[in-house]
Amino acid sequence: MADTKKPAMSASKAEILDAAAEVFMRLGADTASIDDVARQLGSTKGRIYHHFPSKGVLLAEVCLRAADFVLQKVPPVIAPDAAPEENLRQMVLTHIPEVLRTLPYHKVIIQSYVGVQQKSTTALERELFAQIQQERKAYENLFRNVLQAGMQDGSFRTQNTSIAMQSLLLLINAPVFWYRPRADEPETFVAELSAQLADMALASLR
Amino acid sequence: MADTKKPAMSASKAEILDAAAEVFMRLGADTASIDDVARQLGSTKGRIYHHFPSKGVLLAEVCLRAADFVLQKVPPVIAPDAAPEENLRQMVLTHIPEVLRTLPYHKVIIQSYVGVQQKSTTALERELFAQIQQERKAYENLFRNVLQAGMQDGSFRTQNTSIAMQSLLLLINAPVFWYRPRADEPETFVAELSAQLADMALASLR
DNA sequence: TTGACAGCATACTCAGTAGTATGTTTGCCT
DNA sequence: AGGCAAACATACTACTGAGTATGCTGTCAA
């Protein structure tokens, strides 16, 4: 495996990624123009093209950051000695709030999950999208492993693992499709939502 | 409620919709051009613009057809006197094969579920997208009703109905994201897949 | 037979957009 | 002080792609 360093992103670059995620979410990554992102920043194209060589790379880095968010939060809550059910519950309870905290990023990466093949003309873009796919598979395997462990020790019923994993992942990402933060929303809403989805997820496997 | 007639589409128009669904699925509705759709048909733009006033209307009619597919198959299997659990099972077992049979259409309509606001400049486009949203809500209500019935008679656990319904709908649409028909796939695969997802869906609610 | 219309193809226009080339400013190091 | 590079802004180019205007061909009714 190659180096898995974090290049320590500059503040300006992070600000651009935030704006891009916001705009790509609202207009769609294809429809939105670089000028749209610049307008969201209150600046011009020059700033963006100074930090990113192309629109495709900008999009790829938004998606990559989306994957990184959950990959930094979820693995630490997995306890090797804990029961699969408890592990899965903690994973879901960690995943959902983190996803909703960084919602625009995940709304963007989900656009690519629909199966639209990236055009990816340049080599750098292809490399980045390959890296995204790799991180996605790594994240999937976290869930696949806990699923298999649960089926082995009898806490989960035996069924096709791939189908169960895909369904589970989509279930815990469901709020990305419909959730919209509201001002009058109770402080505890996200936690309660996560708990309900964790219950549903676990129940669906028993 | 307005008239719910079926305008009896011409064969050529249906062929264009099939091609558009296929191309929009592959390239994304935004990225794909009208010329791409024409090339898929082995013809030129002229044919498409003879039947559809704009790209937006073409996209809307693809989405509308996607909604119609399931709306024609699922409601008939709902038996007013049957138990909610049995009704829901039949709905899922009908929904999934129909969706996979008309997969390109549903891959296109899912692109719009991500929340990308349509530009919809013309009045006709706005009307069509309003109609799509209306049919979507009608379809959601089929599931909302059976959920509430099940919670009332105790076959389903009591929980937030909207969250449960959204999660359920996404769960049964999960195969749209990952399923790809394969030549070496067993004849019974779709049926088995549907059965597994129906089990998961029902279990998640108990 | 003819005209009139449906059903396309061909050949354009024109607006928007990715990308580039070239200024301009602002720290920062020596 | 002064120079130098990072971090932008400005002003272009070239091209793609939606939409249009118009031409062509078969079919069918009167």
Over residues B80-105, the pLDDT tens digits come to 999 999 999 999 999 999 999 999 99
Residue A75 has pLDDT above 70, yes or no: yes
A175 C-beta less than 7 Å away from strand C: no
B122 C-beta less than 7 Å away from strand C: no
B134 C-beta less than 7 Å away from strand C: no
pLDDT at B116: 76
Q: CATH class for domain A54-205? A: mainly alpha
pLDDT at B6: 60
Question: Could you say which DSSP state residue B154 is in?
Answer: T
In this prediction, residues A9-21 reach a mean pLDDT of 94
CA distances from B59 to A24, A45, B22, B110, B137 (A): 20, 31, 12, 12, 19
Which of B28, B159, B170 has the CB atom closest to A116's CB atom? Answer: B28
In this prediction, residues A13-20 reach a mean pLDDT of 98
pLDDT at B117: 73
Q: What is the pLDDT of residues B124-133, one digit of tens each?
A: 999 999 999 9
Judged by DSSP in three states, B42 sits in coil
pLDDT at B198: 98
pLDDT at A119: 75
Cβ-based neighbour number of residue A35 at 10 Å:
12
Domain residues of chain B, as ranges?
54-205
Place of tokens 């909703």: A100
CB A37 within 8 A of CB A20: yes
In total, chain A counts a number of residues equal to 206
List CB contacts (< 8 A) between A170 and chain B: 170-171, 173-174, 177
- Which one has a higher pLDDT value, B123 or A9? B123
